[in-house]
Structure 1
Amino acid sequence: MFSGSIPALVTPFRDGAFDESAFRRLVDWQIESGSKALVPCGTTGEASTLTNDEHHRVIQVCVEQAAGRVPVIAGCGSNDTKTALMHIEYSQKIGADAALVVAPYYNRPNQEGVIAHFSYLADNGGLPIVVYNVPGRTVTDIAPETVVELARRYPQKIVGIKDASGDLSRVTDHRMGISAQFCQLSGDDELSLPHSAAGGVGCISVSANVAPRLCADFQAAIASNDLALARELNDRLYPLHYAMFEDASPGPVKYALTRVHDWMTEEMRLPLTPCNAATRKAVDAALEHAGLV
C-alpha cells in the first residue's frame, strides 16, 4: 500500500501560529522531489503541542495541497483511545488515505491494552491504520506477537507498521507471521538500508524533510535492487540522519530547512527550543557532506 521515501513532515510556525503558506510549499517540494506519501502531524510535526483544531487543520491543508498526487497518512495517535478515533474520523472525512497511530504513551498499557486500543480503532474507524512503534518515546513497546495478532484480526484495517524500535529482527518476525501484503516501513533513517534487506519497503523519514530527492533516489535504488547506488546514496545521507537527532527533534531538521529554504523558520513550541550551537555545526557539516548546501 505504501512504499519508498515518506517524509514525516515538520509543522512550520510563524509568530506562534501554523504557517500554512510555508507548509503548502513544503508539500509541493516534497512531491516534486519524489516522495511517495506524506505524514502530517507525527512526532516530527509536533502534534503534541497542537490543539485539536490545529491538528485537523494541518492534516486538511496537507490533503488539499497533495490533491491526490500522493497518499496522505495522517498522524492520529493519542494516549486516549477516543481522541485517536476522533482524529481518524476527521481525517477520513477530509480525504486522508490512512492513519498513523502511535502506541498509547504515558499510560503504559500492557499488551492486552495495546490490542484493545488498536482493535477499538479498527472496529470503529474507517481508515486503514499504520501502527507506529517508537518505545524510546512512548515507553510502551508493541511486541512482534501483538503486531501479528492485530494484523491477523484486521487484515483490511491494520495494514502496516512504522517501526522505530531499532530492532531489525522484528522485520523478519513480522514478515514470517503476517501476509506479504503487510507494509513494513522503517522509522529510523539510519537503519533503512538493512531494514529493507530484511523485508521493509520504505521509510517514514525525518531526513526527507530536507533531502527529499536524495531520500527518494535512495529508496528507488533499493526497490530496483541497485545495491551499489543505494550504498552510495546512504553514505551521502548517513551523517544527516544522525545530525537530525543531535538535539531534541525537530529542532535540527527545522534548522536544516532554514539553510535550504528562506521561507522556513526554526520556530517551535515550548517545551521545545531551537537546537544548540554544537548541533548546528553538525547539521551544517552533514548538509555539506550530502551536497545540499
Structure 2
Amino acid sequence: MTLNTVQDVTQRLRDGMARGVLSFPLTSFRDDGSLDVDSYRTYLADQLATAPGAVFPACGTGEFTALDEDEYREVITAAVEVADGRTPVVAGIGYGWAQALRFARIAEEAGADAALVLPHYLVKAPQDGLVEQVRRIASGTGLPLIVYQRDQVAFSVDSLRRIAEIPTVIGLKDGHSDLDRLQRLTLAAPEELLFFNGAATAEVQARAYAAVGVPAYSSAVHAFAPEIANAFFAALRDGDDATVERLLRDFYVPLVELRDRVPGYAVSLVKAAARLRGKPVGPVRAPLTDPSSGDLADLEKLLKDGLNLVSAT
C-alpha cells in the first residue's frame, strides 16, 4: 500500500470520526454456535444504514477471539461487500504478532481498508516489546494500522513516538481512560495521528475524552440501538448538555451498572439487546454466556426507557 493510499484512508477515517460514532458490529451465530453469514449481512446492512463514521468488524464486540481463520475471512469479506466503499472497514487483528499477521493478510485480501491491532494475548511485556510487536505486524502487511491500548498494553510517550514513526501506523484507540496519560500522548503525537475513545460504554466518558482532545469514540450501544447512540453523538457535538446528561443519567449509567454485574456482559448484553430488537445475531460463543432471565428483563426495560428518551427529544 502506497503512502498516498495510507493518507487517503487516514483522511476518510478522520472525516468519518467527525461525522458519526464508530460501529463495532456483532457477529451472527446460529443457535448451534455456527457462523451465520447471511444473517450477519442483513444485520450489518442495518448498521451501515445509520451512517456510522466507520465499521470495525471482528473486533471485541464482534467476538474476534471466538472466530477461526475461515470464519474470520467470511466476516471481513461480508463487511467489505456490504460497505461497498461507502464506509471505511477496519478489521480486527490480534494475538501475538505472527498470528496477527495471518489475520491481517486475510483482511488485506478481503479488501479491508485498515486493521485494528487488538491487545496481544496473556503476556505483560516491556515497552520495547510493545513497540517491536507493532513493528513486526507493520512489516508484514500493507494495511494501515490503528493500535489498541488496553489491559496489558499501555504505551509510554516515548513508545508512542516510536510507533508513530512507522509509516502505516495511523492511530491509537485508548481503553485505559487514564486521561493524564492520554493527554501526554496526544501532545507528543504527530498531528496526523488519529485518536479515539475505546472505553467500555464510551459515551459515559466521552466528555472527559473530548476535553483532552479526543472527541471520537466507539459505541457498543450503536450495535443494538443506533437511534440512542446517534442522538447522544448529536447532542454532544451540538453542546446540548441537557440531552447529554439526561441520556447519561437515565440510560448509559444504568447500562454500565447492569454491564458490571457479570464478566463478559460488555458483549453479552449488547448481543441480547440486539436480539430484543429483532436483529439476527444469535447467541454469544463460549467462554461468554448469555444474560440471566432476571438481567434480561432489566435490560429490556432499560432499552425501552432509552428508546423513549430519544423519541421524546
Normalised by the length of structure 2, the TM-score is: 0.83
Amino acid at match of 2:103: H
For residues 283 and 175 of structure 1, what CA distance do their matches in structure 2 show?
A: 36
Q: Which residue of 1 aligns with 2:163?
A: 150
2:74 is equivalent to residue 60 of structure 1 = no
Q: Which residue of 1 aligns with 2:4?
A: none
Amino acid at match of 1:142: F
1:127-276 mapped onto 2 (5 Å cutoff): 127-135=143-151, 139-151=152-164, 153-154=165-166, 156-188=167-199, 189=202, 190-235=204-249, 237-238=251-252, 239-247=254-262, 248-249=264-265, 250-261=267-278, 263-265=280-282, 267-276=283-292
Q: Secondary structure at the match of 2:218?
A: strand
Q: What is the CA deviation profile of residues 44-72 of structure 1, one whole-angstrom value per residue up to 9, with x for unaligned ones?
A: 11111211111121111111111112111
Amino acid at match of 1:133: Q
Q: Figure out how many residues of one structure are paired with residues of the other and give that number.
A: 286
Q: Given the alignment, which residue of 34, 37, 40 partners 1:23?
A: 40
For residues 156 and 118 of structure 2, what CA distance do their matches in structure 1 show?
A: 13
For residues 51 and 251 of structure 2, what CA distance do their matches in structure 1 show?
A: 16
Which moved further from structure 2: 224-233 or 17-26? 224-233
For residues 235 and 192 of structure 2, what CA distance do their matches in structure 1 show?
A: 21
Alignment check: 8 A CA contact 1:99 1:130 kept: yes
Q: Which residue of 1 aligns with 2:3?
A: none
In structure 1, stretches of 5+ residues that fail to align are: none
Alignment check: 8 A CA contact 1:74 1:99 kept: yes
Amino acid at match of 1:31: L
Identity of aligned residues (%): 27
Q: Which residue of 1 aligns with 2:5?
A: none
In structure 2, stretches of 5+ residues that fail to align are: 1-9
For residues 178 and 275 of structure 1, what CA distance do their matches in structure 2 show?
A: 41
For residues 246 and 36 of structure 1, what CA distance do their matches in structure 2 show?
A: 30
More helix by share: 2
For residues 292 and 132 of structure 1, what CA distance do their matches in structure 2 show?
A: 34
Change (3 A) 1:38 1:284: same
How far the C-alpha of 1:5 sits from its partner, in A, is 0.8
For residues 183 and 226 of structure 1, what CA distance do their matches in structure 2 show?
A: 25
Which moved further from structure 2: 234-243 or 89-98? 234-243
